[in-house]
Structures are given as structure tokens and as C-alpha cells.
């Protein structure tokens, strides 16, 4: 299938995501893969704080999928801190175009993100913050405009889980380099998790070096397998 040009990141000559099932793919690989529901369910009554790190904000596909997932999870009083990074930020208009194929599924969430994101001065490096109120609770997006290692190094509190969702290792090797994976390991809580679509040997070895035990899980769509990591 020919990929529409607006779905391709011109910096890496790679599409932002699977063009058919990107929302369900995200839920399978990253939410089920990191065991978010088990962690939140085990937290019991009261406010449940959960910190996420993401490498590669892109068009916000994982953020949209996460809000849809949590809105329908049946748990409330959740406080999500969502730390993400984007080296090549795109406009809110382009985000709307890229995510437009999922408007039937998550149209109101797309509109919510586009409105909030439009307030960000994407030409200014460093942290930008957006707070979104949802049925499950509140989500605070901390978006770092700049390089991924800078973002990880700037975190003062380790994350409960990481979504490793940059472009593939062949297209964007920097987002998978050993130094960055080691830093991610340092900024992950004990028994924290990570998940990624790639099963490349260098990524597996890097995650193991960073303190994760790694296992392959069934993939989604046409992908045979994906990775889950558990911080030892």
C-alpha cells in the first residue's frame, strides 16, 4: 500500500506508524506489554500516580491511544505524568492530518490534543507542559523539544514504564544507541517496565545492559513479535 506523504517523517524517511491499526497496535504493544492495568489495579483505592517516559512523541499517537485506553478502563483517580521528547516537532495542523484516519475512533481526543498542542511554542527547546482532564483522572504531558538523551537526563523522578517508540534502528539509530538505553535504565523504577515494537539484537542487548530482563511477546498485525522489558 502506498503511504501518503504526510504520514512520512521526512527526517528519517519512515512512516510515523502503521496506517491501519495504529491505535489498537499501541494498546497491544505498549499498554498490555507494560502491564499498566495490572499496576493500576494493584494500587487499590485513592489517587494512583503513574509516570511514563516515551522516546519519540511524533504526532502523539501513543498519547491519544493511552487516553482512550484509560478512559475505558473502569479505574478513576489516576494521575499520569507523561514525559516525552521530540527532536523534530511538527505543527498542530500536521498532527491533525496525520491522526485524521482515526477520527471515527478517537475524534474528540484528537481535537483535544490538537487544541492543547497548538499552545506550545515548538521552536523553543526544552520542557513544555500540557495538562488534560479526563474521565480516568488527569494527564500531565511534559514534552521536551530536543534530543532524547537530554530529556532523559533532565528527569528528576524515575518512570514506572517506558514506551520506546522512535523510528526503527535502521532509520534512526540515535534513538536506540547504547548510551541512551543505559540512561533510560537509570531513570526506571525497580520493577518498572518498558516495551517496544523492535526486536533488533542491538536493542535487546542494550536493554539487558541497562538492567532489564527482556522477553519477546506476540506482535500485532503483520509483526511477528515485540519486546517487553522488566527492570531488575
Between the two ends of the chain, the Cα-to-Cα distance in Å is 41
pLDDT in tens, 48-88: 999 999 999 999 999 999 999 999 999 999 999 999 999 99
Lowest-confidence segment of 6-20, 158-172, 215-229 by average pLDDT: 6-20
Q: How far apart are CA 99 and CA 19, in angstroms?
A: 9
Average pLDDT of the chain to the nearest whole number: 93
Q: How far apart are CA 19 and CA 82, in angstroms?
A: 24
Q: How far apart are CA 58 and CA 62, in angstroms?
A: 9
pLDDT in tens, 99-149: 998 999 999 999 999 999 999 999 999 999 999 999 999 999 999 999 999
Q: How far apart are CA 55 and CA 147, in angstroms?
A: 10
**Chain Cα centroid distance, residue 80:** 13
Longest CA–CA span in the chain (Å) reads 48
Question: Is the distance from CB of 193 to CB of 230 less than 8 angstroms?
Answer: yes
pLDDT in tens, 62-73: 999 999 999 999
Identify the H or E element spanning 194: strand 188-196
DSSP state of 32: I
CATH number where 183 lies? 3.40.50.150
Report the predicted TM-score, pTM, of the whole model to 2 decimal places. 0.94
Number of structural domains found in the chain: 1
Q: How far apart are CA 169 and CA 176, in angstroms?
A: 6
Question: In which domain, by residue range, is 213 found?
Answer: 5-231
Amino acid at each position: 500500500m502506498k503511504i501518503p506523504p504526510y504520514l512520512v517523517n521526512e527526517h528519517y524517511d519512515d512512516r510515523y506508524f502503521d496506517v491501519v491499526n495504529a491505535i489498537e497496535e499501541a494498546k497491544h504493544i505498549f499498554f498490555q506489554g507494560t502491564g499498566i492495568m495490572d499496576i493500576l489495579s494493584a494500587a487499590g483505592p485513592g489517587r494512583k500516580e503513574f509516570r511514563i517516559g516515551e522516546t519519540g512523541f511524533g504526532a502523539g499517537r501513543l498519547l491519544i491511544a493511552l487516553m482512550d485506553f484509560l478512559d475505558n478502563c473502569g479505574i478513576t483517580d489516576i494521575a499520569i505524568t507523561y514525559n516525552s521528547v521530540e527532536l523534530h516537532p511538527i505543527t498542530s495542523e500536521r498532527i491533525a492530518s496525520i491522526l485524521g484516519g482515526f477520527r471515527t475512533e478517537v475524534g474528540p481526543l484528537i481535537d483535544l490534543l490538537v487544541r492543547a498542542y497548538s499552545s506550545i511554542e515548538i521552536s523553543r527547546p526544552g520542557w513544555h507542559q500540557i495538562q488534560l482532564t479526563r474521565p480516568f483522572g488527569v494527564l500531565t504531558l511534559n514534552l521536551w523539544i530536543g534530543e532524547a538523551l537530554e530529556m532523559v537526563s533532565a528527569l528528576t523522578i524515575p518512570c514506572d514504564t517506558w514506551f520506546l517508540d522512535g523510528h526503527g534502528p535502521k532509520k534512526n539509530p540515535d534513538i536506540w544507541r547504547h548510551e541512551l538505553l543505559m540512561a533510560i535504565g537509570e531513570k526506571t523504577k525497580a520493577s518498572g517496565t518498558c516495551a517496544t515494537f523492535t526486536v533488533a539484537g542491538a536493542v535487546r542487548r542494550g536493554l539487558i545492559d541497562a538492567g532489564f530482563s527482556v522477553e519477546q511477546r506476540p506482535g500485532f498485525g503483520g509483526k511477528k513479535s515485540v519486546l517487553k522489558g522488566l527492570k531488575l
